[in-house]
Structure 1
Amino acid sequence: MSKAAKNRLVYALGHKLRDRGISVVGVAPGWMRTELMLQHHTEQELAGQTETPHYAARGIVALARDPQVSRHSGRILDVGELAELYGVTDLDGTQPQWYAGHRRRGAAE
């Protein structure tokens, strides 16, 4: 419920503030590669599906520098989408996209 409320707030504020030239974009990180995750999972289990906080930060910086950021106003963007859009990578040079496998599975069903 909390996530849905935040997403709706981004949508509503994006719509409301568009005429004032203010962009409102939500950013949704994927699974964070934390010490706790590394403690309970192997690197192979987490490969390509987790990201460091630096990945989200790099995507947000690229988004903030975009002179056409208003085209995203009112939307929630996954960090993986930002990475594809702006060509940013995580610390290890990868572009983790935790949602990619879920979308493929959902499309096949």
Structure 2
Amino acid sequence: MSIDHSDKPGRGDMLLTIGSAAGLLRVCPATLRIWERKGLVHPRRLGQNRFYSGQDIRRLRIIKDLIQKKRLNIEGVKAVLGAPRCWDVKKCLPQHRKSCSYFMRHGPAQ
């Protein structure tokens, strides 16, 4: 299930429930709850319900990749996500970022 908050200021993208986000990412909803408890992601909350934005989903994909493919633990994931991004360190111009495959995959999702 998703909710469209495009009528609210600053909320122009679809929000996914935890079940929909988990299905999209092919993980259990409990996994998303653990990652939230560990501080890796901060979904929007409405009462007891969690809602994940497109930016949250991009971040969750990175987290999943770091854990499953790169074999990092939670602390390792926190270190990677907390590290300065190369385009911030190198002060890349926006026109260079558009041609950077890494930026296009992992861009402003932090």
TM-score (normalised: structure 1): 0.27
More helix by share: 1
TM-score (normalised: structure 2): 0.27
